[in-house]
Amino acid sequence: MIDTIQNIEEISKKLKERAIFEGFTIAGIASIPGSSRIKLRTNALERWLSNNHHAEMKWMEAERRKDISSLLEDAKSILSVGFSYISSHNNENKNNLFKVAKFSQGEDYHKVIYKKLKNIGKWINLEIPDCKWKICVDTSPLLEKAWAEESGIGWIGKNSNLINTKNGSWFTLGFLILTKDLIPDEPHQSLCGKCDICIEHCPTKAIVEPFVINSDLCIAYHTIESREKTIPKKIEENLDGWVAGCDICQDVCPWNKSVPYNNNSETAPKEWIKNLNIESLNWDDKTWKENLKGTTLKRIKPWMWKRNMQANLKNKKIKS
pLDDT digits (tens, 9 = 90+) for 174-186: 999 999 999 999 9
Cα–Cα distances in Å, from 96 out to 99, 204, 236, 274?
Answer: 8, 22, 18, 9
Query: Phi/psi of residue 97, each to 5°?
Result: -115, -55
Q: Provide the residue ranges of all domains of the chain, joining segments of one domain with +.
A: 5-92+106-178, 197-313
Non-local CB neighbours of 199 within 8 Å, separated by 6+ positions? 158, 159, 207, 210
In 133-214 the beta strands, taken as DSSP E runs, fall at 133-136, 155-156, 162-163, 171-178, 207-209, 212-213
Closest CA to 212 of 249, 259, 260, 183: 249
pLDDT, one tens digit per residue, over 273-305 is 999 999 999 999 999 999 999 999 999 999 999
Contact 235, 254 (CB under 8 A): no
pLDDT band with cut points at 50, 70 and 90 for residue 53 = confident
Rounded CA-CA distance 176/9 in Å is 18
Please indicate whether residue 139 or residue 145 has the higher confidence score (pLDDT): 145
Q: Is the dihedral of CA 15, 20, 22, 25 positive or negative?
A: positive
Question: pLDDT tens across 207-261, in order?
Answer: 999 999 999 999 999 999 999 999 999 999 999 999 999 999 999 999 999 899 8
Of the listed ranges 34-38, 123-127, 226-230, 244-248, the least confidently predicted one is: 34-38
Tell me the catalytic residues. Answer: 138
> Helix, strand, or coil here: 31?
strand
* pLDDT value of residue 89: 81
pLDDT, tens only, 61-98: 888 888 898 999 999 999 999 999 998 888 766 666 89
